[in-house]
Chain A
């Protein structure tokens, strides 16, 4: 009996082993495309080993395209223009590209394999993106599920970003989670603090990165992140501003306000912060204090489900109905929104109905 079992195991192991070996051999022979050149913007040439996807090949050479999903083809952030060598458009890219983008040669860099020399175009600002090492210097509990964490860069290092941009935090394996992931968080500190950044991170149930941040990280830990990314930043105009944020969406707007405090502004600004109950509010004193700093600024927290124990006398319900009373000239008003996709959609719809123009509504959606 035992012999039979051993024979079975031996045959199966032998067969699987032989097939696996064959596949490994085939992989190393067939997937070897030699050295390929990536030409960027017609200026710079990178030499990489072929066979890997474009996003990974670029990040190996310290060129970081934004990517919220880490190359799984589910976020659509890692777009870049490919002039030659990208192969045909793949069905996995189509859902993320508009007709105009397809016509312009825009591709998802995580889906294209580098097999030949390839010529691409990426925004110059991408060169500003790099990897940073940092040490946690402070962790503040803002609410029961939101923490503010300050990361000090290494001695002598500095970061140059615009208020409202985000970074990608890279996690380390912990507990049962073996893989490393990267997740995007907006910087909440002002760009003038060039030796540090602060992130505001809300605990998402089952979230790999937020659980890591909330349960594992402590002051003194070393972490790394890449950045800065994104085109959610303040436009330098004289238009009125409506800020709308929910949850940890306060981060980029805090950065913008702290930046404005330093450079000074006389723009009319109103900041609506949506939360469920009193215990979801945070940094209220700090935001209210800006009303004394700027000539025309109001901070309006709005609770959708105030509890009887909250003794809340402020605004209730959703934020949308309150826009009307602060709007002076819809055509001359910009909106900066940061929050869940559902909130962004609802607020954008309400603002369009009130007459704001679509290209003046800027948003950063947690997707």
Chain B
């Protein structure tokens, strides 16, 4: 796996191996915050930002702390602690120095701590033996892929409002069907750049 270029990995993570549409990770916030385009954009940007940085931090924690000490089985706990601490720190930094962004992302940041896409990307990075650069590319790509997926759903949902939907499918039902069709479209291209 080490021979995939970071560049290819970045694009593959967005389109052909979209973390949400092929691995179905990060579904809870995808389903609950996709009601409006504006807020899904906010959450998507926050996820991308946090994903890029936590993947890098977790790579460092894994290869410089867990591997040398021979305790890689602690990766689950360590990754989660690192993600939670990073989100907290980011919240403080943004509030102080970029208040405008803080007020846009504000309520989404705490949501991200429990977004499984973020944790999932860190685990994939370990399983697939990515190097540091590849991990960052994969993290950033996955974040953008997640952003793309939630934006598409939000766009579709805003059009869905005036449409007649059978009673039994209203709400979560139709959204899961739409997500399934989106996933089919994305998986159709997975052969172009196979990374998993």
Interface residues on B, range: 20 to 34
> Contacts A30-B95, A30-B96 hold; do A23 and B85 have CB atoms under 8 A apart?
yes
Q: Mark B64-100, 1 if CB is under 8 A from A, else 0.
A: 0100010100100110011001001100110110011
B128 to chain A, nearest CB (A): 24
Enumerate chain B residues within 8 angstroms of A266, measured Cβ to Cβ.
Answer: none
Please tell me if the beta carbons of A15 and B95 are within 8 angstroms of each other in the complex: no
Q: A7's contact among B69, B81, B89, B93, by CB below 8 Å, is which?
A: B69
Complex-state Cα separation, A15 to B88, whole angstroms: 15
Complex-state Cα separation, A102 to B7, whole angstroms: 47
Please tell me if the beta carbons of B106 and A30 are within 8 angstroms of each other in the complex: no
Please tell me if the beta carbons of B81 and A90 are within 8 angstroms of each other in the complex: no
- Count of chain A residues with a beta carbon within 8 Å of a chain B beta carbon: 20
> Contacts A7-B71, A15-B65, A15-B78 hold; do A22 and B103 have CB atoms under 8 A apart?
no
B107 to chain A, nearest CB (A): 6
Please tell me if the beta carbons of A22 and B89 are within 8 angstroms of each other in the complex: yes
Interface of A is mostly: helix
Please tell me if the beta carbons of B71 and A88 are within 8 angstroms of each other in the complex: no
Smallest Cβ-Cβ distance to B94: which chain A residue: A30
Complex-state Cα separation, A7 to B89, whole angstroms: 27
B119 to chain A, nearest CB (A): 16
Enumerate chain A residues within 8 angstroms of B89, measured Cβ to Cβ.
Answer: 22-23, 26
Interface of B is mostly: helix
A10 to chain B, nearest CB (A): 10
Enumerate chain B residues within 8 angstroms of A23, measured Cβ to Cβ.
Answer: 85, 88-89, 92
Smallest Cβ-Cβ distance to B82: which chain A residue: A19
Asked whether A237 is an interface residue with its Cβ less than 8 Å from the other chain, the reply is no
> Contacts A12-B78, A23-B85, A30-B95 hold; do A91 and B106 have CB atoms under 8 A apart?
yes
Please tell me if the beta carbons of B65 and A11 are within 8 angstroms of each other in the complex: yes
Complex-state Cα separation, A11 to B64, whole angstroms: 13
A116 to chain B, nearest CB (A): 11
Tell me which residues from 12 to 71 in chain A have a Cβ below 8 Å from any Cβ of chain B. 12, 15-16, 19-20, 22-23, 26-27, 30-31
Complex-state Cα separation, A11 to B67, whole angstroms: 12
Complex-state Cα separation, A7 to B81, whole angstroms: 17
Enumerate chain B residues within 8 angstroms of A7, measured Cβ to Cβ.
Answer: 69, 71
Enumerate chain A residues within 8 angstroms of B61, measured Cβ to Cβ.
Answer: 15
Please tell me if the beta carbons of A11 and B81 are within 8 angstroms of each other in the complex: no
Smallest Cβ-Cβ distance to A88: which chain B residue: B103
Asked whether A92 is an interface residue with its Cβ less than 8 Å from the other chain, the reply is yes
A292 to chain B, nearest CB (A): 58
Q: A8's contact among B71, B93, B107, by CB below 8 Å, is which?
A: B71
Enumerate chain B residues within 8 angstroms of A22, measured Cβ to Cβ.
Answer: 85, 89
Please tell me if the beta carbons of A12 and B69 are within 8 angstroms of each other in the complex: no
Q: B92's contact among A15, A31, A113, by CB below 8 Å, is which?
A: A31
Asked whether A355 is an interface residue with its Cβ less than 8 Å from the other chain, the reply is no
Enumerate chain B residues within 8 angstroms of A26, measured Cβ to Cβ.
Answer: 89, 92-93
Please tell me if the beta carbons of A8 and B74 are within 8 angstroms of each other in the complex: yes
Q: B81's contact among A16, A30, A91, by CB below 8 Å, is which?
A: A16
Asked whether A87 is an interface residue with its Cβ less than 8 Å from the other chain, the reply is yes
Enumerate chain A residues within 8 angstroms of B106, measured Cβ to Cβ.
Answer: 90-91
Enumerate chain A residues within 8 angstroms of B99, measured Cβ to Cβ.
Answer: 87
Please tell me if the beta carbons of B95 and A12 are within 8 angstroms of each other in the complex: no
Smallest Cβ-Cβ distance to A4: which chain B residue: B71
Enumerate chain B residues within 8 angstroms of A113, measured Cβ to Cβ.
Answer: 95
> Contacts A8-B74, A23-B88 hold; do A15 and B81 have CB atoms under 8 A apart?
yes
Q: B77's contact among A12, A20, A27, A30, by CB below 8 Å, is which?
A: A12
Complex-state Cα separation, A88 to B95, whole angstroms: 12
B79 to chain A, nearest CB (A): 11
Enumerate chain B residues within 8 angstroms of A8, measured Cβ to Cβ.
Answer: 71, 74
Apart from A23-B88, A87-B99, A92-B107, list 7 A-B contacts with CB within 8 A: A8-B71, A22-B89, A23-B89, A26-B93, A30-B93, A88-B100, A91-B106
Which residues of B are interface residues toward A (Cβ below 8 A)?
A: 61, 65, 69, 71, 74, 77-78, 81-82, 85, 88-89, 92-93, 95-96, 99-100, 103, 106-107
- 7 A-B pairs in the complex with CB atoms less than 8 angstroms apart: A11-B65, A11-B69, A15-B61, A23-B89, A30-B95, A31-B92, A88-B100
Which residues of A are interface residues toward B (Cβ below 8 A)?
A: 7-8, 11-12, 15-16, 19-20, 22-23, 26-27, 30-31, 87-88, 90-92, 113
Listed from nearest, the 6 A-B pairs whose CB atoms lie closest are A19-B85, A30-B96, A30-B92, A26-B92, A88-B103, A23-B88
